[in-house]
Amino acid sequence: MLFSDLKIHPLILKALEAQGYKNPTPIQQQAIPSILEGRDVMGAAQTGTGKTAAFAIPTLQLLAREGRLENRGRTIKSLILTPTRELAIQIEENIVQYGKNLWLRHAVIFGGVTQGSQVAKLKSGIDILVATPGRLLDLMQQWYIDLRHIEIFTLDEADRMLNMWFINDVRKVLAKLPVKRQTLMFSATMPNEILHLADSILNNPVKVEVTPVTSTAEKVSQAVFFLKKSDKKLLLQEILKNEKMTSVLVFSRTKHGADRIVKDLDAVGITAAAIHWNKSQNNRQRALENFKSGKIRVLVATDIAARGIDIDELMFVVNYDLPNEPETYIHRIGRTGRAGKDWVALSFCDREEYEFLLDIEKLTGQKIRRMEKHPFHVSISAPISNAEKKKINAEKEAKKKAFRKENPRSFGRGRR
Ligand code: AMP
């Protein structure tokens, strides 16, 4: 199938051609015609399936329809709500690309930076607004944003909104939208809360689903290394000796862990950068740009900060920590295997994480290849028992206590 078979406007087709897009992806094939017909859509699709274009292209086309602008002037007609700044920026970038031959105006707003330039853009008059919930509510309360003319509302990555406790913010936004509108909702996973939300905001939606939620990106080779936690940094260094690994995204469960990985790599002469919430927006953007341009080989990210990282040339994902929620693994892996290329996802697994590995394999229904030929291999074949877990936790607590005793000034009130 070609994009031209989907009755896409010639000016948008031209922009898609310039992007090198020839064929619509499955989610685009399914969603675009229904959205163009004005239907509500509920899309089950993970990152990497082309879901952004699936809603951005028809949104541009509907808004660009002749006569719409002259009649109503510049009011915000489409709102796209997404959980993270990175995703918001990327959605706007896509809108810029697909809409470059149209006359529509757009803006992106997110927290963590001063509001001045965002407000100026809003004041200049826009048709499409991409926003994260916090900054949107903030600017709405300051009367910079009027949602009364919204015709198309898109809720992107709804399951993440839920996980990040944004769902109340989303409800506050919903209360300000016109009842008569077209609503598009996308979510990688479909827990009950999401189905419930969908029921309450969508009107007789067309349901489109591409890869089942439990499938990891098809083209990703996956492997797991069993080792001791303390050897993880050594294995990462060992793996990075392979010069073919030019672009490696390393996942860490915590911000602190991400910083430590960068430090450990720096110590052996490998330049890396971390992105997580404690870094300023500019700092994160810079790290991402340096990574995309190949200036740095390794980017270390926490799950939330990595949401929406869209890197075409990404080759390797390393799960330095295995996530305790199996869906998170699927999200991470979704970053590789894009655009039909073969990529690799490597996971480090210590004894405590073995049960997470089993959860992942249960959810995906795939057994991940065990890599035994590496210098740090330990044999792990069963999850740790509850008694062992208790013992490990007690040891951790004791260590923490001892550290606090030795470093009283790092804790409590005196800290700031
Ligand atoms: P998304 O799932 O929206 O994060 O998109 C994943 C990646 O696929 C992005 O880099 C898009 O630019 C790219 N993409 C989206 N649609 C197409 C298409 N029809 N053909 C080729 N690449 C695409």
Domain assignments of the chain as residue spans, ordered by start: 3-209, 220-371
Has residue 383 got a pLDDT over 90? Answer: no
State how far the Cα of 98 lies from the Cα of 92, in Å rounded to an integer: 10
How many angstroms does the Cα of residue 262 sit away from the middle of ligand 1?
Answer: 30
State how far the Cα of 197 lies from the Cα of 1, in Å rounded to an integer: 33
Quote the pLDDT of residue 115.
94
Quote the pLDDT of residue 63.
93
pLDDT in tens, 6-37: 999 999 999 999 988 888 988 999 999 999 99
Pocket test for ligand 1, best of 25, 57, 218, 333 (most atoms within 8 A of CB): 25
220-371: CATH topology is Rossmann fold (3.40.50)
Confidence of residue 410 (pLDDT cuts 50, 70, 90): low
State how far the Cα of 295 lies from the Cα of 1, in Å rounded to an integer: 38
How many angstroms does the Cα of residue 224 sit away from the middle of ligand 1?
Answer: 28
Quote the pLDDT of residue 70.
46
Has residue 86 got a pLDDT over 80? Answer: yes
Q: Which atom of ligand 1 is nearest to the CA of 48?
A: 2
In percent, how much of the chain has pLDDT > 90?
Answer: 55
Has residue 413 got a pLDDT over 90? Answer: no
Q: Do domains 3-209 and 220-371 have the same CATH topology?
A: yes
Average the pLDDT over each of 1-15, 107-121, 125-139, 218-232 and give the range with the smallest value: 218-232
Residue nearest to atom 16 of ligand 1 (CA): 50
CA 225 to chain centre: 25
Q: Which atom of ligand 1 is nearest to the CA of 310?
A: 10
Ligand 1: residues with CB < 6 A are: 21, 24-25, 28, 47-53, 310, 312, 338-339
State how far the Cα of 266 lies from the Cα of 396, in Å rounded to an integer: 27
pTM of the model: 0.61
Residue nearest to atom 13 of ligand 1 (CA): 50
> Check: CATH 3.40.50.300 for 3-209?
yes
Pocket test for ligand 1, best of 21, 80, 220, 312 (most atoms within 8 A of CB): 21
State how far the Cα of 264 lies from the Cα of 155, in Å rounded to an integer: 39
Tokens of 59: 């949104």
State how far the Cα of 52 lies from the Cα of 27, in Å rounded to an integer: 10
Backbone angles phi, psi at 286, to 5 degrees: -60, -45
Average pLDDT, the chain: 86
Confidence of residue 211 (pLDDT cuts 50, 70, 90): low
Tokens of 5: 């078979």
Q: Which among 56, 116, 42 is positioned nearest to 90, based on CA atoms? A: 56
How many angstroms does the Cα of residue 48 sit away from the middle of ligand 1?
Answer: 6
pLDDT in tens, 264-322: 999 999 999 998 867 777 888 888 888 888 899 999 998 767 765 666 666 789 999 99
What are the beta bridge partners of residue 348? 225
How many angstroms does the Cα of residue 222 sit away from the middle of ligand 1?
Answer: 22
Has residue 131 got a pLDDT over 80? Answer: yes
pLDDT in tens, 358-370: 988 887 778 899 9
Residue nearest to atom 20 of ligand 1 (CA): 21
Residue nearest to atom 6 of ligand 1 (CA): 48
Taking each helix axis from N to C terminus, what angle separates 85-98 and 51-63, rounded to the nearest 10 degrees? 50
pLDDT in tens, 174-206: 999 999 999 999 998 888 888 999 999 999 999
